[in-house]
Chains A and B, each alone.
Chain A
Amino acid sequence: MNNFSLILMLLVLMAVAYQFGMVRSRSLAGGNNSAIMHSRPHHYGMMVGLWAVLPPLFIMLLWNWFSPGVIQSMVLASIPAEHLPDGEQAAIIMRRISNLAANFGIVAEAAEWELNAANYLQALRQQSALMLTALMFIVASVGLLLSFRKIQPSLRARHQVEKVMMGLLLLCSTVAILTTIGIVLSMVGETLKFFTFIKPSDFFFGTTWNPRFSTAGVADGSLTGSQGSFGLLPLLSGTMLVAFIAMLVAIPLGLMVAIYMAEYAPSKVRNTVKPVIEVLAGIPTIVYGFFALVTVGPFLTDLGAMLGLTIRATSALTAGVVMGIMLIPFISSLSDDILTQVPKALRDGSLGLGATKSETIRKVVLPAALPGIVGAVLLAVSRAIGETMIVVLAAGNSPSLTANPFEAVSTVTVTIVNQLTGDNDFASPQSLVAFALGLTLFVITLLLNVVALVIVRKYREQYE
């Protein structure tokens, strides 16, 4: 039996055991009026269900963890000595045998001993599955019976069930954290590999980005001098320039939207407009990218021509402006929440002193909300830094160290895309640099988010 049907059976078993436990506890409580059960019937049911299912599940996990290794060594031991592989060859031969057993992906005619080994492997696997099923069945029955017999008025079933629930929740919450750690570790490994090709100082402080093609790289180890330069600074400056322009657009507009929504809009308007603005946040960024490329870029070029400026259609300005538009709902929605959290008592205090509404907003509400708004802005900045598609389409992809917003730039995210797409050797610095860039980006946004969260939390404590 395969694992999937085993799990299905376990679920069925759990439902049955649940009913058993519940019925048993009910009959205990009903048969003897003086007995007061410690827990509710469904707690007893759940307890029996868990005892019937969790131990076999655990055994199944362990079995699946260890049995392939055991089976493999048994198969290897069965192979005649003259064919016996050594070292790394073992894995290749095992793969071939396992393909033969599965009747899949066989390249050449199989030799006699290979077929024998494949048959042996197949038989072992079937045996293993049978043994697992039997073992799980026994353990499940024992668990069910023992826990079923333990049901008494004094048994604290609720405590057991709630402990298991807590464990489950804990497990779920660690998944997100472990994933983050996994991401970092995988990037750190590749980044360290990259730094065996390029000195960290050349990467972090280099002012030229010109990685060349990986075919011109270090394939034979003799061309290390001509593998191009991997300077981070042009990319970082491009990223910062685009993010800065985006903030110039998003902060004033977003804040004004938030102030209108929180302070002036009648509740009818607020209840319709707020969801609509939040829908804007759901537009795929690639669509914003089209918008930048087709509409905003040419418009800015025309505008520049009118003012006597040369603005490229794809430039830091185009990407920044569109990214700013994308971030407006982000800032307005967060700031709106923060502004409405400012206590009414503060507004009343100011109005009671004869301040007008706008004076109250400028001098009392906004200063009181400032830490929260700063947090919202920092979160928006970290999104701007990590944004990719708009910049791919609209920034011009020209990694040059410039502060002129009318020129084409490139950003860290765009470069990662460029370095990882196409036919690339994953062991070359041209590809590995993407991981170094990704890690750098990750660290920057992580720091920004941490600062933002600390600020937002500090603000929350002030009023709750």
Chain B
Amino acid sequence: MSESTVLNDAAKVKMTARDVKVFYGTNQAIHGIDMDIMENEVIAFIGPSGCGKSTFLRCLNRMNDTIDICRVTGQIALDGQDIYHPSLDVVQLRAQVGMVFQKPNPFPKSIYDNIAYGPKLHGLASKKSDLDDVVESSLRRAGLWEEVKDRLNQPGTGLSGGQQQRLCIARTIAVSPEVILMDEPCSALDPIATSIIEELIAELKQNFTIVIVTHNMQQAARVSDRTAFFHLGNLIELGVTNDVFTNPTQKRTEDYITGRYG
């Protein structure tokens, strides 16, 4: 990959990764990745299982810190600031770079409290009415408000799988992040719920930078501006989605996209 793969020269770089390597114990999962992520783009990571795409995603908000044996080297910056710098507050980072997980994981609390959780932690709303506003606007932006506005006090775990995932997205939006990381957000959902989430991603693009890991190549083609193909811990190809899928430059990318392996 090269600098020419950048989508739009005028776009501002949001996150940069330089020579990122990840080790689980003695086992190296990622072998030096360089990447620029642009502001307000949707970038999709594709690749076969175990290729390191989720691991790399989790480096972007230091979720790998929660795994004891995981070690990250190299440099990752958000708006030019090194996020692995010792003086950086990881709590602040995760408020800026939110994450939506593979399996919907609402807290065993009410729908309202699920959304209000983040804003309360970060002191984003001092008054009850402010908090109500944050909850409503987050749910509206996640396209869930109409479905749950009459039952905000019911447990979030009682919603359907697709609703739960949108609740988790709303929960992430509520802390006003700049980047949203999505780790296979639709893999546990049925096709209808998936298409709703995909529409949502297209809308969220206006305000957020979105990094999405997916196993579903059609999904990557539908939702993303650029696509990165990972294989065996290496970034093989990164380009404008349409180019990657119709005219890949690398043999391995073509083999994967045409279903020859993976």
On whether A462 and B107 interact (CB within 8 A), knowing A351-B66, A354-B121, the answer reads: no
Question: Which stretch of B76-84, B95-103, B223-231 is in the interface?
Answer: B95-103
- Show 8 residue pairs from A and B whose CB-CB distance is below 8 angstroms, ordered by the A residue: A348-B66, A352-B63, A352-B101, A353-B98, A354-B95, A354-B118, A354-B175, A367-B108
Cβ-defined contact, A352 with B109, below 8 A: no
Name the CB-closest residue of A to B174.
A353
Among B61, B91, B101, B172, point to the contact of A355 (Cβ < 8 A). Answer: B91
A359 to B61, CA, bound (A): 18
Q: Show the binding face of B for A, using Cβ within 8 Å.
A: 61, 63, 66, 68, 91-95, 98-99, 101, 103, 105-109, 117-118, 121-122, 157, 168, 171-172, 175
A353-B121, A355-B121 given. 8 additional CB < 8 A pairs?
A347-B66, A348-B66, A352-B172, A353-B95, A354-B92, A354-B94, A355-B117, A359-B121
CA distance A201 to B168 in the complex (A): 58
Taking a contact as CB atoms closer than 8 A, the residue among A352, A355, A367 that contacts B99 in the complex is A352
A353: B residues at CB distance < 8 A: 94-95, 98, 117-118, 121, 171-172, 175
Which residues of B lie under 8 Å from residue A368 when comparing CB positions?
107-108
Contact with B along A251-270 (1 / 0, CB 8 A): 00000000000000011000
The answer to whether B107 and A350 have CB atoms under 8 Å apart is yes
C-alpha gap A356/B66 in the complex (Å): 11
* A345-B103, A349-B101 known; A354+B108 contact, CB < 8 A: no
Q: Within residues 337 to 363 of chain A, which ones have a CB less than 8 A from any CB in chain B?
A: 343, 345-356, 359, 363
Q: Which residues of A contact B63 (CB under 8 A)?
A: 348, 351-352
Q: Are B98 and A352 in contact (CB under 8 A)?
A: yes
Q: A354-B91, A354-B175 are in contact. Are A349 and B108 (CB under 8 A)?
A: no
Pair A363/B117 contact, Cβ less than 8 Å:
yes
List of A residues within 8 angstroms of B93 by Cβ: 354
Docked Cα-Cα span, A353 to B107, in Å, equals 12
* Residues 140-182 (chain A) with a chain B CB within 8 angstroms: none
A364 in the interface, Cβ–Cβ < 8 Å?
yes
Q: Which of A267, A345, A352, A364 contacts B94 (CB 8 A)?
A: A352
Report the bound CA distance from A356 to B103 in whole Å: 21
Minimum CB–CB distance for B248 against chain A, Å = 32
- Min C-beta distance of B41 to chain A, whole Å: 21
Closest to A355 in B: B121
- B105 partner residues in chain A, CB cutoff 8 A: 343, 345-346, 348-349
Closest to B65 in A: A351
What residues of A have a CB within 8 angstroms of the CB of B95 in the complex?
353-354
> Does the CB pair A367–B121 fall under 8 Å?
no
Question: B109 contacts which chain A residues (CB < 8 A)?
Answer: 367
The 6 closest A-B CB pairs, nearest first, are A354-B95, A352-B99, A345-B105, A354-B94, A353-B118, A349-B105
> Given the complex, which residues of B lie within 8 Å of A350, measured CB to CB?
107, 117
Residues of A within 8 A of B103 (CB): 345
- A356: chain B residues within 8 A (beta carbon): 91
Q: Name the contact of B101 in the complex, choosing from A267, A348, A359 (C-beta under 8 A).
A: A348
A356 vs B94: C-alpha distance in the bound complex, in angstroms?
A: 10
Between B108, B117, B118, B168, the greatest number of chain A beta carbons within 10 A of the residue's beta carbon is seen for B108
Taken together as a complex, chains A and B put the C-alpha atoms of A355 and B121 apart, in Å, by: 7
The answer to whether B107 touches A364, judged by C-beta atoms less than 8 angstroms apart, is: yes
A355 to B109, CA, bound (A): 16
Which residues of chain B have C-beta atoms less than 8 A from A363's C-beta?
117, 121
In whole Å, how far is B2's beta carbon from the nearest beta carbon of chain A?
A: 32
Within the assembled complex, what's the spacing in Å between the Cα atoms of A311 and B256? 79
| Contacting residues, chain A, for B101 (C-beta < 8 A) | 345, 348-349, 352
B residues within 8 A CB of A355? Answer: 91, 117-118, 121
Contacts of B157 in A (CB 8 A): 462
Smallest CB gap from B92: residue in A: A354
Instruction: Given A349-B101, A349-B168, verify A462-B108 contact (CB < 8 Å).
Output: yes
Complex CA–CA separation, A359 to B66 (angstroms): 15
* Complex: A346 Cα to B172 Cα, angstroms: 14
Instruction: List residues of chain B with CB within 8 A of the CB of A359.
Output: 121
Which A residues from 301 to 356 make CB contacts under 8 A with B?
A: 343, 345-356
Q: How far is the CB of B88 from chain A (nearest CB, A)?
A: 13
Nearest to B104 among chain A residues (CB) is: A345
Instruction: List residues of chain B with CB within 8 A of the CB of A352.
Output: 61, 63, 94, 98-99, 101, 172
Bound together, the chains give a CA A240 to CA B107 distance in angstroms of 36
Distance of A6 from chain B, by nearest CB (Å): 61
* Minimal Cβ-Cβ distance residue in B for A368: B108
A350 to B106, CA, bound (A): 9
Closest chain A CB from B236 CB (angstroms): 28
Contact across chains for B107 and A346 when beta carbons are under 8 A apart: yes
Nearest residue, chain A, Cβ from B122: A354
Per the 8 Å Cβ criterion, residues 101-138 of A in contact with B are: none
In the bound complex, CA of A355 to CA of B156 (Å): 19
Q: With a CB–CB cut-off of 8 A, which chain B residues contact A367?
A: 107-109
